[in-house]
């Protein structure tokens, strides 16, 4: 049997526009954490100029329909567009449910549109754990715009703010009033606010409430956000949404906020990676015996959890012998 292409071969093809290779490479990134380390030298040779736009909101507000409408308009501007749609996990396979591709199927055959569904796989925050790596890969593969759709689980959606240049908050009259949006924390992370399905009763009231809350909120020195009333199904208001996103992009560039956001994004990714490395080191340390002894000491109340965590982490990273308990403990 002929061996399949290596990760570096897939990366080389993906960087030259081979979307099939890109899809296979993303699958490797999702399943093998070391993949990004292998291809980092290749990625470093490619500039990362893509505009990254995140979309969040409760399930059923029409995020996928809004994104489908935006894809069409970005394509009219001759932009190459990539979409990362984070789906709920299948309870049977753990994979993505792929619901978003149904609403975006009009663009599936466009060679300049790449749509990838990712399974959340239990990761909180509305994104999949490998989403930042996949977005970075797409941004270096020549796409002009990368659109990220969160899973739509409500009050844990704020992670998108750490990974997008522009965050679009979408709500409807059906999803509750502006107070619910405030409770979810989205007023603080949003740059563009959309009330979708604006032809439905109550939409104008939700938009008015959002505007009032934005005026009352502490947004000094931030982007002067507007609240747009849109009907993505009928494409009403979509041109205004494109204009508002472009206005925010200009503000990012002129105010220097784009560089600050991307630096914060790099710091967030680095912190997450450090945490992953630390957890992997401790969990693989001494086949878990040291961890069990520490857990016994913690359960018996003889040791502090922070003290034990530091002890285990330090020993695992320095390859020291497993620490012995100060005294025998049983529970």
pLDDT in tens, 217-235: 766 668 888 999 999 989 9
| CA 137 – CA 50 distance, rounded (Å) | 11
Q: Pick the range with the lowest mean pLDDT from 83-87, 284-288, 299-303.
A: 284-288
Return the sign of the alpha-carbon dihedral for residues 47, 264, 66, 115.
positive
Treating both helix axes as pointing N-terminal to C-terminal, what angle do 257-283 and 238-255 enclose, rounded to 10 degrees?
Answer: 90
Same structural domain, 180 and 241: yes
What are the start-end ranges of the E strands in the chain? 51-56, 81-87, 113-119, 145-149, 166-171, 192-195, 227-229
Kindly state the helix (H) or strand (E) to which residue 101 belongs, with its residue range.
Answer: helix 99-103
168: containing domain? 47-255
Whether residue 127 is found in the same domain as residue 202? yes
Q: Max Cα separation, the chain?
A: 71
Domain shared by 151 and 31, yes or no: no
State how far Cα 50 lies from the chain centre: 15
Residue 149 and residue 247 in one domain: yes
pTM here is 0.81
**Could you read off the pLDDT of 165-177 as tens digits, one per residue?**
999 999 888 765 5
Q: How long a stretch of residues is the chain? A: 331
Q: What is the mean pLDDT of residues 192-218?
A: 88
Helix (H, G, I), strand (E, B) or coil at 91: coil
Nearest to 202 by CA among 238, 177, 231: 177
> What is the edge-to-edge ordering of all strands in the sheet holding 145-149?
113-119, 81-87, 145-149, 51-56, 166-171, 192-195, 227-229
Residue 331: strand, helix, or coil:
coil
Confidence of residue 291 (pLDDT cuts 50, 70, 90): confident
Q: Domain containing 165 — which CATH number?
A: 3.40.50.300
The residue from 226, 255, 284 where one domain ends is 255
Q: What's the pLDDT at 220?
A: 61
Using alpha carbons, select from 238, 261, 252, 257 the residue that is nearest to residue 74.
238
Q: Are 230 and 243 in contact (CB under 8 A)?
A: no
169 shares its domain with 193: yes
Share the mean pLDDT of the chain.
81
Question: In the listed set 255, 272, 289, which residue is the last one of a domain according to the structure?
Answer: 255
Residue 171 CA to residue 63 CA, distance in Å, equals 9
Q: What is the pLDDT of residue 55?
A: 93
Residue 102 and residue 212 share a domain: yes
pLDDT of residue 209: 87
Whole-angstrom distance, CA of residue 321 vs CA of residue 291: 13
| 70 and 207 co-located in one domain | yes
Give the mean model confidence (pLDDT) for residues 135-156.
82
pLDDT band per the 50, 70, 90 thresholds, residue 126: very low
Sign (positive or negative) of CA dihedral 30, 35, 37, 40: negative
CA distance 78 to 199: 30
The residue among 225, 255, 285 that closes a domain is 255
Please tell me the total count of domains within the chain: 2
């Amino acid at each position: 049997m002929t061996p399949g292409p290596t990760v570096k071969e897939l990366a080389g093809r993906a960087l030259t526009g081979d979307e099939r290779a890109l899809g296979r490479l993303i699958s490797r990134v999702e399943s093998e954490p070391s993949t990004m380390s292998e291809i980092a030298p290749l990625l470093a040779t490619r500039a990362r100029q893509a505009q990254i736009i995140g979309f969040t909101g409760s399930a059923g507000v029409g995020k996928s329909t809004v994104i489908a409408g935006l894809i069409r308009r970005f394509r009219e501007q001759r932009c190459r567009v990539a979409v990362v749609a984070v789906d709920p996990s299948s309870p049977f396979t753990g994979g993505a449910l792929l619901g978003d591709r149904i609403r975006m199927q009009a663009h599936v055959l466009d060679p300049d549109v790449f749509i990838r569904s990712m399974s959340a796989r239990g990761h909180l925050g509305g994104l999949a754990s490998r989403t930042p790596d996949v977005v970075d890969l797409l941004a270096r593969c020549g796409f002009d715009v990368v659109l990220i759709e969160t899973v739509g689980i409500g009050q844990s959606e704020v992670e998108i703010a750490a990974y997008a240049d522009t965050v679009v908050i979408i709500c409807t009259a059906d999803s509750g009033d502006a107070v619910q949006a405030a409770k979810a924390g989205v007023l603080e992370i949003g740059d563009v606010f959309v009330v979708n399905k604006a032809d439905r009763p109550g939409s104008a009231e939700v938009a008015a409430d959002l505007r009032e809350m934005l005026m009352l909120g502490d947004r000094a020195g931030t982007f002067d956000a507007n609240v747009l009333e849109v009907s993505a199904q009928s494409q009403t208001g979509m041109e205004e949404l494109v204009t508002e996103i472009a206005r925010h992009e200009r503000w990012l560039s002129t105010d220097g906020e784009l560089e600050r956001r991307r630096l914060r994004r790099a710091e967030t990714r680095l912190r997450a990676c450090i945490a992953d490395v630390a957890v992997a080191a401790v969990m693989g340390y001494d086949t878990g015996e040291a961890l069990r002894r520490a857990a016994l000491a913690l359960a018996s109340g003889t040791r502090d959890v922070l003290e034990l965590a530091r002890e285990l982490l330090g020993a695992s990273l320095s390859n020291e012998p497993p620490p012995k308990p100060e005294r025998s403990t049983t529970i």
